[in-house]
Structure 1
Amino acid sequence: MNNNEKLTETLNDLIKINNDRVTGYEKAADETNTADIDLRAIFLKMANESRDYVKELSDTIIQLGGTVATDTTLSGKVYRVWMDVKNTFTGSDRQSILESCEFGEDAAQKAYNDALHTDAEIDAETRQLIMDQKDSLKTSHDVIKKFRDIHESVK
């Protein structure tokens, strides 16, 4: 496997986790109660954020001459199933939705860490793109965690 193929595979993994994130946040927005309009707006913003990341990553893959992934990760599918199972037992309350979203954000951070530590050679521009997206996703993670912690302390 040549370096462009390795890098394309790495970037496709990030596309897949972002596709998972879009699906997860759309599901979370759908599951929120009408009283949780603040969360719904945040979830939809984060889904759009990942759509933008998919476009940026796709553009890079196309420049490398690769084929862009359109599916999701196996772990993403597990994440969505886990969210469904958890809602079966706990309902779609604010706390459980936030916990599920934090779980997904942790998975995204792991995927970006893995990408930055891959054995594929990453040019400076692509590395910067990955780092910028990872940093932005970390901010999103922290927002979700803050909302979860606030809700937990109010309970």
Structure 2
Amino acid sequence: MENTQAITIETLNDLVKINNDRIEGFEKATKDLGEGHEDLKTLFTSLIGESHQNKMELSTEIQALGHDIDNTTSTSGSLHRTWLEVKAAFTGHSTHSILEECEFGEDAIKKAYKDALEVEEVPAFIKDILVRQQLALNAAHDQIKALRDAE
């Protein structure tokens, strides 16, 4: 039982981290868009709010299990943001490249949720939460991809 709980907490904390990565990624994308692009900034702000909501739900479950929340970002997310800064220095911040990088981030969070749902130790009631969050994340990914393809 204790091992199952530890695996569940680790899985949920990993999802908190990747939601933090997503928040930072969309904040950076909003900043990189510069003036104009209010439609994209509104979308990114909405997706930031979605990740804050996801984190709140995940954090509630972690606390209910009697553990602390790891409210940091992942190492891979930090490395990716550094890579984006280097890339932007050479290529600029075109709308297409920003949407491309947002889609890359959305791919990462989709994979994290897919992996979390495959963890057998995660209880069914928590998997229900993850599936609901995953549906919204998949829709956001598809929206970002469509916008990127239209650029």
TM-score bracket for this pair, using the shorter chain length: over 0.9
What is the deviation of 1:18?
0.1
How far apart, CA to CA, are the structure 2 residues paired with 1:144 and 1:88? Answer: 23
1:15 positional shift: 0.2
- Give CA deviations for 1:41-80 in whole Å, capped at 9, x if unaligned: 1111111110110000000101111211110111111221
Structure 1 residue 33: Cα displacement: 3.0
Asked whether the 8 Å contact 2:11–2:116 carries over to 1, the reply is: yes
Q: Which residue of 1 aligns with 2:132?
A: 132
Query: Whole-Å Cα distance in 2 between the matches of residues 103 and 60 of structure 1?
Result: 28
Unaligned runs of 5+ in 2: none
Q: Which residue is equivalent to 1:9? A: 10
How far apart, in 2, do the equivalents of 1:85 and 1:133 lie? 32
Check whether the contact 1:98–1:145 (CA below 8 A) recurs between aligned residues. Answer: yes
Q: How many residues align?
A: 150
Q: In the alignment, what sits opposite 2:91?
A: 90
Give structure 1 stretches of 5+ with no counterpart: none
Runs of 4+ in 1 over 2 A off after TM superposition: none
Q: Distance between the aligned counterparts of 1:105 and 1:82, measured in 2?
A: 16
1:61-72 alignment, distance < 5 Å: 61-72=62-73
TM-score normalised per structure 1: 0.93
Q: Report SS of the residue matched to 1:71.
A: coil
2: CA distance between counterparts of 1:44 and 1:21? 11
Amino acid across the alignment from 1:84: E
Query: How much does 1:35 deviate?
Result: 2.7
| Cross-structure match for 1:144 | 144
The alpha-carbon deviation at position 92 of structure 1 amounts to 1.1
Residue 122 of structure 1 is matched in structure 2 by 122
Q: What percent of counterpart residues are identical?
A: 43
TM-score, normalising length: structure 2? 0.95
| C-alpha distance in 1 between matches for 2:80 and 2:138 | 18
Amino acid at match of 2:86: V
